[in-house]
Amino acid sequence: MILHILNRSPSSSLVYRDALAGMGPEDRLLLVEDGVQGALPSQVRHFEVVGDRLFALREDLVAHGLDGHCDASVQVVDVDGFVALTEEADKTVSWF
């Protein structure tokens, strides 16, 4: 399993498409920084193919005032959860 980390929102950058193209069937996607906008119900459709392997970083959601606005399909993790995801992954790939 590879952990892909995305820090751009789907409404401002197409990098999310490249990230999705690079994901295998077991890989996970973590939204951080501006990437957390992708967790909004209005945006989350872009990540439909990821299913239940979509995560968003709580600290960034809080910073953006988006905590509580997340789509139910997104798993919210804090920094400790981020570390755990990293440890479970064979490697991480950053998309920016």
Q: Which string of DSSP letters, residue by residue, matches 43-82? A: TGGGGGGGGGGEEEEHHHHHHTT-TT---TTSEEE-HHHH
**Binding span for another protein by CB under 8 A among 9-17, 31-39, 65-73, 77-85:** 9-17
Report, in angstroms and rounded to the nearest whole number, the Rg of the chain calculated over CA atoms: 12
Q: Which is nearer to another protein, 62 or 93 (CB)?
A: 93
Restricted to residues 34-53, the positions that interact with another protein (CB under 8 A) are: none
Which residues contribute to the site for another protein (CB under 8 A)?
A: 2, 14-15, 17-18, 20-24, 27, 91, 93-96
